[in-house]
Amino acid sequence: MGKHTKAIRTIRAYDVEDSIEGYRVLVDRIWPRGVSKETLDLDQWAKELAPSTDLRKWFAHDPVKWDEFQDRYRSELSQKMEARQTLLDDAKDKPIVLIYAAKDRDHNHAIVLQSVLEHDRL
**Bridge partners (DSSP) listed for residue 30:** none
Nearest 5°: the CA angle 99, 103, 108 is 60
pLDDT tens by residue, 90-115? 998 899 999 999 999 999 999 999 99
pLDDT tens by residue, 59-79? 999 999 999 999 999 999 999
pLDDT at site 44:
96
| Domain residue ranges of the chain, discontinuous segments joined by + | 8-121
pLDDT tens by residue, 26-42? 999 999 999 999 999 99
Report field, pTM of the whole predicted structure over 0.85: yes
pLDDT at site 96:
96
